[in-house]
Structure 1
Amino acid sequence: MIEHEHIYEDEIDLRDLILTVWRGRWIIIGAVAVAVIVAFVYATFVRERVYEAEISVLPSEFRLADGRSLNPSDYLPIFHKDSVLDRIAAKYMPDHPDIDAAIDSMVSSIKVDIKTDRDQNASNPILTISMRHRDRATAMEMARDYIAIVQSELASLASQLNSEKLELLERDLKERTDELQAALDEQQSFRTTYDIETLRSRLSNRRSRLVSAEAQINDLESIIEVLAAQLERVRFQLGQTEPLLVTKDVLDETRVKLFRQITGDDGTPEIPYIDREHINPVYTQLLEMSLTAERQIESRKIELENATSEVAALRTEIDALLGEIADAERRDLELSLALSRARSLYDSAYSHYSSAVSTVKRQSYSLTIISGPWASTRPVGSGMLTTMVLAAVLA
């Protein structure tokens, strides 16, 4: 009985509530209508329409002149640099007497949102930059200019980093070039002053002359030995030979008569004769042979003495040439090694410099634009209908 009474009371309360609402329906309808009208006026005339332009870029990893990598994490701060935003604001700022205040106001109105979306198969993130403005075309132009400025800042950063390294490499290359040129000049000057080939030619000539002089000495010694033996034989024969020969000349009849008259001997039956001494021609010939041999021996001894002196002089000159050639070859080897080291250092410096320049030339230092800039034809935020519905619900 009590339960039926409670159910009956609930039905009475609900009926009263519905009747109350029904009696105040015009008030509710009026409030909703006012809220919808206010929302319409706000959405149409009061609230500014803001369009959002987006542009997506693919940051890359760049190689620098020093071999290091310029990673996206190294240049992502450029996107948030105040100077970049200031340049955008300075270009698109409204007419305002206070330029600094206008720039600050516009910078605060620029929205730069960098979204990082990672693909499972991609090694680099995709950056989405969004910029907002009351005008749709201006928003897209701002996004385009923003990326262009970032590109310029990135190229400037890479240029600064590369310039420092290239200056070092260029300075090192110049030093190595000067060292190589100095080594070349020193070697050329040395080889001009000390022609090793000429010294070797002189040494070969002196050795040939030494061989000839020594052969001449051997020949002269043999000749002197032969002449000495010949002289000894001649002298022996000369000692065995009489220098004078005694001959008996038989007198003729007239001389006999005269001889007898002189001697007063008219009865001498023997045929008279006279002893005469003559120079022995064999002795004379042997004497001439002895003198000739002595002269030849003296002449050969003089030649032998001259040849011996020449041999001594040649040996002294050869020793001096050997020492000079050894010193020249040692010095030339030192200069060649120094030149080789200088050339090696130059080649290394040139290779590093060329590699760095080639690396810089191959790199574009620019971001790859994947899409955009583009902007929706609808403003950012809730639309007019959504705003009105929301206002009606809240009312």
Structure 2
Amino acid sequence: MQIQWNDQLIQFIYSRCSELFENEQYLGKISQYFAFKYFELLLSFNISELRLDFVTNQIDIQIKTIGGATYIQTSNFICINSTFEEISTAKISVFDIVTSSDGIIMMQNLSIFQMRNSLQENIENEGCLSVNALNSLLNLQIKNTKFSNIPNRMSSSIITINPSLLENKLIFQNITIVDCVSLKNQIVKMQFITQANKQNSISFIDLKIYQNQESWFNLLQNIRELSESEIQEITGKDNAIIYLENCDANIENLFLKAEVYGNNLVENPSYLTLSINSKAMPAVESTINNIQTSILKLTPYLVMEQGIKKQTEMLMILSTQIIDTYQIFIVSQATYLTYIKIRGSYSLIFIIQSVKLQITQDSQQKF
């Protein structure tokens, strides 16, 4: 464990092992006693005796973590029942993982909130989690996890993955993301190589995304000025909340609620957009009954059902009306799905139910 003063904390924990299991960890503000006792000291300890217990209210040290709170090289990593709070970082907030061999990563029952990084500098920040699986297989599962209040500038607030060149199996289940905003690829951007398309699968199950107006105002205020190249990246076709390429994707119960405010589509065109292989589903401005409003259109995608290509249905919800109850009519099933009552003006909500997608560069041209 290496600690360096003067706003330059390089690494909390460095681990290199074949298997690592963490249970019931809390990493947050560092106590004054801890900081002074281990100031500029390098410690060695047995990984089996490691326990994170940095819970305190004594002092909040402003730090810049270059490589994440924890850097790990392993073939099998499991982390459950853990909380990470108020970590300042220049690149990766929580886990920086390099996999080997089978590349098994399992995370469950995590709470990650109030991460901080430099929004005024164009640094290649990789979000809360970074996974490098170029030299291994990758089997990643993240379940029952909440991310909250995590801003970023020009990359994902949640996770950055350098996928395996051989095989990738990714599952995100029961994930709640609250006010995690960035100007580019807010949740995840996944680009797999074309040759391994059949070996690449990603599933989003019970994914809930909430964004409010205040979080966007704070982000834009802290970023201040954007460069010309950044503006071009933001308005590019590969910018979306979720961007996937060259994989089999399964999406079940995707819920997005975002507050709308003036000129939003101009300031950040990806804010109300879900994009897969550059095919965007944006909110568009329309006039209905002499009232100008924004409408989210889920334009049809090709869906693979037993090898037969079919199209999804279109869902359209007015973003400026007050919604008490709403229903989605599924033509193929001839049934209504009724959802929880929601009250709130100037909000945009859409839900995707059980959509299977085969995403390839070839199919991109056919959308």
TM-score past 0.5 threshold: no
Structure number, greater radius of gyration: 1
Smaller-chain TM-score range?
Answer: under 0.3
TM-score by length of 1: 0.17
Q: More helix by proportion, 1 or 2?
A: 1
